[in-house]
Structure 1
Amino acid sequence: MSEVRIPWWPLFGVVAVVHLVLLAADASPWDSITKCLAAPLLIGWVLTSGAPRILALALLFCLGGDFFLELDGLFLAGMGSFALAHVCFITWFVRHGAVERLRANPLLVVGLAVAAVAIVVSVWSGIDDPVVRAVLPFYALLLSGTAATALVTERLAGVGAVLFLVSDALIALTVFDRVGTTAVTHVAIMVLYLGAIALLTLGGARLAPPARALAPEPA
């Protein structure tokens, strides 16, 4: 019997488009359901394609973030789950020499650190919860850390990480009442986010396992 091949990427594309349409139409709860189907499809591709399992773990935490953010009162849980996803992404890029490359690109580090500070400062006065105030700077640094390590390691992943940074910055601006919460902003956030996880997955999967990547080439 021939092996059944699941078209993970076409399914991801279909789910992404359907989700965006439902989101624009404010078709609850179907928009939330389709949102939470996106990451599992990428996890399926990672697990069946031989891609690094750490990417599947990162996407699992993204799924947790997607789920928690759809539920009232679980904003911090969602932020925490996404924070763990960024730890996974950063770990993968660091294993491929990101720290050494960043030492040679100090302006990139400074620029992304400034971006993290700018995100926090722009929403600071709108944050009422002291716990959110305490953890937001660390989350912003993780966002910038993913962007920095990805940009110097793999081009597609770097673009994805920047999209993630912009998407989450827009979320912060809407959640803390710095920009209007409209269908357009919701759709923009999700276009950026879906592109982010897709490119981080593709770019991360293009990197060889560290042991193989660092092994000397045969003479």
Structure 2
Amino acid sequence: MSALPGAPRLVRPLLAAFLAVAVVDLAGLLAGWHAAHLAAKPLLLPLLAAYAAARGGPRPLVAALLCGWGGDVLLMPGADAAFLAGMGCFAAGHVCYLTLFGRGRASVGAGTGYAVALAVFLVLLWPDLPGGLRAPLACYSLLLATMAWRAGLLGRYAAAGGALFLLSDALIATGIADWPPLPAHDFWVMLTYLAAQYLLTTGALGRLDTATGTGGAAHRAGGVRI
């Protein structure tokens, strides 16, 4: 996906806007300012998707981020139907990420580790989950773990992003199961989630820069290396 004419000039402002809104959202969660979270959350993934598009990011990446935005918005009401719809949006985003990663051979060791961690977590969580959510959560968790495993095909940043995505959703699942929450539980959910999406984006854009030989130009246009 080629960046639109003039888009490189938007790279830095879009990234700055995403980071600023993320700070507002996380600060609001820490301080208990629910209105700040409600205002900031719907803006986060569209800004990150626009940043990726301005960098000329691949369509599956932009689609995955927009699916994440749909999931973010649908999870806000808290009703079961909205939760399932939001989970469906995130599942579609994981399929987009898997399409982006391609068919390369991922690490067998990492795959085994994810499989064992997923099995143990589901066994522990299963008795405390609402009956109607058990099967959907199990299927979604398998898809998410597969995405997290194969994210390593795009390098260490994307691999870290996949792992953090799994951690963020695991924290959400413990809340659904009514396990004792962490202090500032919602803050940690959003921090790991936003870091995950940003690192996956960084990994995908870094691979694009390497493939096209535009890494230096992208950096000058506002690309960030972590």
- d(CA) in 2 for partners of 1:75, 1:181: 21
TM-score by length of structure 2 reads 0.82
Q: Which moved more, 1:194-203 or 1:143-152?
A: 143-152
Equivalent of residue 13 in structure 1, options 9, 12, 19: 19
1:84 lines up with 2:92 in the alignment:
yes
Q: Deviations over 1:96-115 (max 9, x none)?
A: x2xxx22xx32221111112
1:203 lines up with 2:203 in the alignment:
yes
Alignment of 1:33-182 (within 5 A): 33-73=39-79, 74-95=82-103, 97=104, 101-102=105-106, 105-130=107-132, 132-180=133-181, 182=183
SS of 2:154's partner is coil
- d(CA) in 2 for partners of 1:86, 1:41: 19
Q: Deviations over 1:127-183 (max 9, x none)?
A: 2242x111111111111111111123321111111110111101111121112265x
Residues 15 and 38 in structure 1, CA contact (< 8 A), matched pair in contact too: yes
Q: Structure 2 regions of 5+ residues with no counterpart?
A: 1-5, 214-226
Residues 12 and 38 in structure 1, CA contact (< 8 A), matched pair in contact too: yes
- d(CA) in 1 for partners of 2:41, 2:124: 27
1:23 lines up with 2:23 in the alignment:
no
Q: Which moved more, 1:46-55 or 1:163-172?
A: 46-55
Runs of 4+ aligned structure 1 residues displaced above 6 Å come to none
TM-score by length of structure 1 reads 0.85
Shift of 1:116: 1.7
- d(CA) in 2 for partners of 1:32, 1:117: 34
Q: Structure 1 regions of 5+ residues with no counterpart?
A: 214-219
Aligned to 1:192: 192
Residues 151 and 157 in structure 1, CA contact (< 8 A), matched pair in contact too: yes
Identity %: 39
- d(CA) in 1 for partners of 2:151, 2:171: 21
Residues 154 and 204 in structure 2, CA contact (< 8 A), matched pair in contact too: no
